[in-house]
Amino acid sequence: MAKVVVLGSGFAGQTAALNLRKSLGKDHEVVVVTPNKKFGYVPSWVWVGVGRMDVSETQFELAPVYKRMGIGYVNGLARAVHPDDNYVMVDLLEGGEEKVEYDYLINATGPKLNYAATEGLGPDHGHTVSICTPNHAAEAGEEYLKMVERMERGEEVKMLIGTGHGMATCQGAAFEYIHNIAFDLEERGLLDRAKITWLSNEQALGDFGVGGMVIGKGGYTVSGKIFAEASFMEKGFGWITGAHVTKVEEGKAHYITIDSAEDQVEEFDFAMLIPAFAGVPIKYINKDGNDITGELCAPNGMLKVDADYTSAAKGFDNWKKEDWPETYQNQTYGNIYAAGISFAPPHPISKPAAAPDGTPIVASPPRTGMAAGIIGHVVALSVADIINGKADKPVHTASMANFGAACVASMGKSMTKGSAAVIAMFPVVPDYERFEYGRDMDATFGDQGLAGHWLKALLHHLFIYKMKGKFGWWLIPD
């Protein structure tokens, strides 16, 4: 009998746990360790952040799902992994600790939202709101509605949306948020009372941490930059790109850019800036009691897997698709895997740049919900095959340089007037050896419209259904 422990219940962890349970007989144990009592459907927090959806519509209780499916559930935060002795120490939510033993461990703990990397950033100890957790998104929605009240009284309001650090990722979520704000204000007849500015570490609009993209649209080949700029011009947004936010004060964001290390300031009444991501602070302790976290994890705390981490030093022009991991197996401890945001990427996808004072400014690689699900799925299949005696090493692979991504970016929530940009790309990491524009133009396209919103709304219900492990859940793609 084998025991697989999954840390985290986001897209990666939940997908891994469900697939493990499906692929393993009842004599094997699957246990999820998570601080959450509820699963949260992250993409819809954009709508929570503009007060157009109640946060409860994005969540469901995990305990009944795990009970029905025969998945063990430890409600706590993993504190330390002891990889020589195969156990995890967990701080339980109701108090106390538990030693959870494993034969295989899947770390799917997602990001630590590293607000602390930017002074004054974030809702808890700073001056900006966030849509990265359910509570924060609900608070953002309340703060946003206060701005609406001010505009209704005739005031003009300055809004700043984007990223709060030179190495941040997840520009897509901020892109959705800025468009949902504009859509909501337009519906309320208030858009002309808002000065809305995009502030981002992307070197150009539409970079999204994937080095931008060239897409096929209506028979033409269009740069994603033009697509993004057109959507910003249509709504009257200003934009500042290539920016690293150095400090946020009440109503003021200080930043430097790739072109200037001079302190520049953007004032705001309301700001939502995505923080830098780091790995969650789990320690790895060896059999001698020594802390080996620095050996197993990248400097940002994300777990190293089967990527080529020497490639970062080779420089942008020498990066190859082989740098990217395929099995997500840790190379020191073969029974440990990382899935979703928790694995350390070998290097950025976008071309690195820096401010004149050397501060790095580059959008970090995104690992969207789709990628997190795909990776959680292949890791689960590999572990299940090993346990079932079908393989002696991980055989299921999913490199971001070999799989594509589909993204449905909401640009307004309404079943009759809403809109979303539907963008597909293959592969996520561009391959200029195989494709002229880095990606297969037959599989890289984009369009925008009301049908996109219907698809976005459908995905909300489909994925919540899937993550609940309801009948036929496995038929819904990752």
Ligand X SMILES: Cc1cc2nc3c(=O)[nH]c(=O)nc-3n(C[C@H](O)[C@H](O)[C@H](O)COP(=O)(O)OP(=O)(O)OC[C@H]3O[C@@H](n4cnc5c(N)ncnc54)[C@H](O)[C@@H]3O)c2cc1C
Residues in touch with ligand X (CB under 6 A): 7-13, 33-36, 42-43, 45-46, 77-78, 108-111, 131-132, 170, 173, 280, 282, 340-341, 367-370, 372, 407
Q: Is 128 helix (H, G, I), strand (E, B) or coil?
A: coil
Q: How far apart are the first and last CA of the chain?
A: 28
Least Å distance, CB 27 to ligand X, is 25
Say if residues 327 and 402 touch (Cβ distance below 8 Å).
Answer: no
Tell me the C-alpha distance between 306 and 326, whole Å. 7
Q: To 10 degrees, the CA torsion angle through 446, 450, 454, 456? A: 50
CB nearer ligand X, residue 24 or residue 74: 74
CB nearer ligand X, residue 280 or residue 387: 280
CB nearer ligand X, residue 376 or residue 394: 376
Least Å distance, CB 12 to ligand X, is 3
CB nearer ligand X, residue 170 or residue 349: 170
CB nearer ligand X, residue 202 or residue 353: 202
H-run or E-run covering 147: helix 134-152
Least Å distance, CB 155 to ligand X, is 27
Least Å distance, CB 201 to ligand X, is 16
Distances (CA, A) of 39 to 13, 133, 261, 409: 11, 11, 42, 21
DSSP symbols for 251-290 = TEEEEEESS--S-EEEE-SEEEEEPEEEE---EEB-TTS-
The residue to which tokens 């561009």 are assigned? 430
Q: What angle do CA 171, 180, 139 make, to 5 degrees?
A: 85
**Edge-to-edge strand order for the sheet containing 252-257?**
243-249, 252-257, 264-267
Structure token pair of residue 124: 């808890």
Least Å distance, CB 342 to ligand X, is 6
CB nearer ligand X, residue 8 or residue 122: 8
DSSP symbols for 162-223 = EESSTT---HHHHHHHHHHHHHHHHHTT-GGGEEEEEE-S-SSTT-TTTT--EEEETTEEEE
DSSP symbols for 49-71 = TTTSS-GGGGEEEHHHHHHHHT-
CB nearer ligand X, residue 256 or residue 379: 379
Tell me the C-alpha distance between 215 and 443, whole Å. 9
Least Å distance, CB 456 to ligand X, is 8
Least Å distance, CB 78 to ligand X, is 4
Say if residues 214 and 223 touch (Cβ distance below 8 Å).
Answer: yes
Tell me the C-alpha distance between 335 and 412, whole Å. 44
CB nearer ligand X, residue 180 or residue 246: 180
Least Å distance, CB 265 to ligand X, is 26
Least Å distance, CB 390 to ligand X, is 26
CB nearer ligand X, residue 280 or residue 353: 280
Neighbours of 426 (CB within 10 A): 18
